[in-house]
Amino acid sequence: MNPSENVSRQESLDALSGSLAQMIPACNENGMKIALEFEKGCPLDNYREGVAFIEETGLQVYLTCDTYHLFNDGAEPHTAAHAMKACLGDVHVSGSNRGEPGGGVFDFETFAQGLKEVGFSGPLVVQYKMEDVASIARSCEFTKEFRSMIQA
């Protein structure tokens, strides 16, 4: 959810909560889930705010955890995985600066260990700024290795 001009954070979250409450029954009827992605500068600025929003509203929604956003938040990956345990829906895999997954300095090993400990088995989504076509194969291979680290 991106910030709206001249609208407070709380008003944005209230609108989000109201909209989600209307959408969730239809999603449940059709076997679908809603995952919210936190991002710096948005009403759900980081994973802590995302977890708090879900806990406070009691809505049946999940979080999308993007490694790029975790990195930008300065979050400790293992701690973040544990904090999101009950509400983690999927993980977006990216390098530290939105580059190729596995690139940069994000600590994928620590994050994988945390995801393993909380029993995460949801989708991994490759999301990055592609520099060359060959990076697709490398990114997929890294993501397979990352999945193996989570399941080991």
Give the pLDDT score at 2. Answer: 64
Which percentage of the chain shows pLDDT scores above 90?
91
Which percentage of the chain shows pLDDT scores above 70?
98
Boundaries of every domain in the chain: 9-151
Q: 9-151: which CATH number, 3.40.50.300, 3.40.220.10, 1.10.10.10, 3.20.20.150? A: 3.20.20.150
pLDDT at 3 over 70: no
Compute the average pLDDT of residues 34-60.
96
Confidence of residue 6 (pLDDT cuts 50, 70, 90): confident
Confidence of residue 47 (pLDDT cuts 50, 70, 90): very high
Question: Distances in Å between the alpha carbon of 126 and those of 11, 25, 28?
Answer: 32, 29, 26
Compute the average pLDDT of residues 91-116.
96
Give the pLDDT score at 4. Answer: 73
pTM of the model: 0.92
